[in-house]
């Protein structure tokens, strides 16, 4: 049996998209049957994490088994526990709870990120999040269960901690979600608590007017320049001493790279991402590539670096897969560069805001922006069909994303 040399660590998400199909393409072109590609992840499915702020979270996934089979990828179900870069192996726990290991010649670390949970009293016990499918489903069930409680300001108030991308999308979607559960006439209160000095401070002046308009229409309040000191079963306590009574506190403040990055020696950024070269190989490592939310990678020659978003993870996956295969085949790697930066922020029923450039110049807003956001969320971030030719073509690192 060919030695499994390429191993993308899960959970499979936007961070792995294209990596394994691109390695398949190069091996296919080189007609090398002595090498194989292996994926290690908890389940053979793409979980559509960028959509976990929406309702019906259980359906936000796409099966990958047929796609893997179509392009010749070996799938190993399990959770990675540790990485031995000296011995070139990964230890993992399989679906039966048994310890296993898999050897590699080249490793692509695509384990993504997770919400940062600082040592805020009560945070772990009482706050919800939309970071992973399981936690987003837990929040959804909690919202449904609110209908069984007596109507009160505490029941009808949702506090979203953090006014970044995820916090805004979660908060502006929340009034519609709550009314579908509690009734159209329910007296709702949705509050965003954010350290920024003004509404939407983290996203720039170009998008701020759209955020303000959407929040005004939805009735979402902002508490700017505020921090959460503690969370309890009845709400949150702010740094000014105010306590907001709420049965539903959602934490969206920051992310950090997968803990698996700690098993790979190398320099890191403040989010824990491994610093990589222009080909996405981890600095100081000969056999390890990092991609998506595990990699701190330059997107241009002007000092800009990839953000922890799917718009960067998708092309990074293509490049990492290409370059890991090229490394073994003795071919020239492809330089990762993605100079065009865009954002598309969902803003609930009001619409969405689409911007271009690192200064986030607004290009579309309202329902025009919403139409683009729907296309992104329902088409662009999903995997291709389980057709070998189409799938391998979609893995080309030279495809322009935006």
149 and 231: one domain? yes
268 and 319: one domain? yes
DSSP letters along 200-227, please?
TGGG-TTTHHHHHHHHHHHTEEEEET--
Q: Which one, of 217, 203, 213, 244, lies nearest residue 341 by Cα? A: 203
Burial class (CB in 10 A: 0-12, 13-18, 19+), 62: middle
Q: Is the pLDDT of residue 30 over 80?
A: no
Q: Which residue has the tokens 């005004």?
A: 216
Does residue 395 sit within a domain?
no
Region at 86 (left for phi over 0; alpha for psi -120 to 50; beta for the rest): alpha
CATH number of domain containing 241: 3.50.50.60
The answer to whether residues 329 and 32 touch, using CB atoms and an 8 Å cutoff, is yes
What is the number of structural domains in the chain? 2
142 and 237: one domain? yes
Among 208, 233, 251, give the residue marking a domain's end: 251
Task: For residue 114, say if its preceding peptide bond is cis, omega within 30 degrees of 0.
Answer: no
Question: How many CB atoms neighbour CB 341 within 10 A?
Answer: 20
Q: How distant, in Å, are the alpha carbons of 234, 235, 237, 373 from that of 243?
A: 9, 7, 4, 35
pLDDT tens for each residue of 344-398: 999 999 999 999 999 999 999 999 999 999 999 999 999 999 999 888 888 888 8
Cα(107)–Cα(129) distance, integer angstroms: 30
Q: Is the pLDDT of residue 100 over 60?
A: yes
Among 320, 339, 358, give the residue marking a domain's end: 339
Question: How many CB atoms neighbour CB 259 within 10 A?
Answer: 11
Does residue 243 sit within a domain?
yes
266 and 321: one domain? yes
Does residue 110 sit within a domain?
yes
Cα(169)–Cα(242) distance, integer angstroms: 25
pLDDT tens for each residue of 178-187: 999 999 999 9
- The secondary structure of residue 310, as a DSSP letter, is H
Does residue 402 sit within a domain?
no
Containing structural domain, residue 78: 18-115+255-339
278 and 296: one domain? yes
Q: How distant, in Å, are the alpha carbons of 178, 206, 304, 350, 385 from that of 339?
A: 39, 19, 8, 30, 28
145 and 220: one domain? yes
138 and 213: one domain? yes
Q: Which of 6-10, 21-25, 226-230 has the highest average model confidence (pLDDT)?
A: 226-230
Among 251, 273, 305, give the residue marking a domain's end: 251
109 and 138: one domain? no
172 and 222: one domain? yes
237 and 292: one domain? no
84 forms beta bridges with 89
167 and 247: one domain? yes
Does residue 283 sit within a domain?
yes
191 and 284: one domain? no
Rounded to the nearest integer, the mean pLDDT of the chain is: 92
């Amino acid at each position: 049996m060919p030695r499994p040399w390429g191993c993308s660590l899960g959970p499979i998400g936007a961070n792995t998209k294209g990596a394994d199909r691109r390695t398949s393409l190069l091996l296919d072109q080189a007609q090398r049957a002595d090498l194989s590609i292996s994926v290690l992840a908890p389940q053979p499915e793409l979980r559509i994490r960028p959509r976990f702020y929406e309702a019906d979270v259980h359906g936000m996934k796409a099966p990958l088994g047929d796609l893997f089979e179509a392009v010749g990828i070996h799938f190993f179900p399990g959770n990675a526990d540790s990485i031995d870069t000296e011995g070139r192996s990964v230890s993992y726990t399989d679906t039966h709870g048994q310890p296993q290991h898999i050897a590699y010649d080249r490793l692509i670390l695509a384990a993504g990120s997770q919400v940062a949970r600082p040592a805020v009293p009560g945070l772990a016990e009482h706050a919800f999040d939309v970071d992973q499918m399981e936690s987003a489903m837990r929040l959804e069930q909690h919202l449904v269960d609110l209908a069984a409680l007596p109507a009160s300001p505490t029941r009808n108030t949702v506090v979203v901690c953090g006014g970044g991308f995820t916090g805004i999308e979660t908060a502006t979607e929340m009034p519609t979600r709550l009314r579908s559960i509690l009734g159209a006439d329910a007296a709702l209160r949705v509050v965003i608590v954010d350290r920024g000095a003004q509404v939407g401070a983290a996203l720039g002046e170009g998008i701020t007017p759209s955020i303000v308009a959407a929040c005004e229409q939805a009735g979402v309040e902002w508490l700017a320049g505020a921090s959460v000191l503690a969370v309890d079963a009845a709400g949150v306590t702010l740094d000014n001493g105010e306590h907001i009574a709420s049965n539903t506190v959602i934490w969206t403040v920051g992310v950090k790279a997968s803990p698996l990055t700690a098993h790979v020696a190398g320099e890191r950024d403040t989010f824990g991402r491994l610093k990589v070269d222009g080909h996405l190989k981890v600095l100081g490592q000969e056999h390890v590539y990092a991609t998506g939310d595990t990699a701190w990678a330059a997107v241009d020659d002007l000092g800009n670096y990839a953000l922890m978003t799917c718009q960067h993870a998708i092309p990074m996956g293509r490049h990492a897969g290409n370059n890991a295969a090229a490394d073994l085949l003795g071919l020239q790697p492809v330089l990762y560069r993605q100079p065009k930066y865009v954002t598309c922020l969902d803003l609930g029923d009001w619409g969405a805001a689409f911007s271009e450039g690192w200064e986030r110049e607004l290009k579309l807003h309202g329902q025009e922006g919403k139409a683009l956001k729907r296309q992104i969320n329902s088409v662009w971030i999903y995997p291709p069909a389980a057709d070998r030719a189409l799938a391998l073509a979609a893995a080309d690192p030279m495809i322009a994303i935006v």
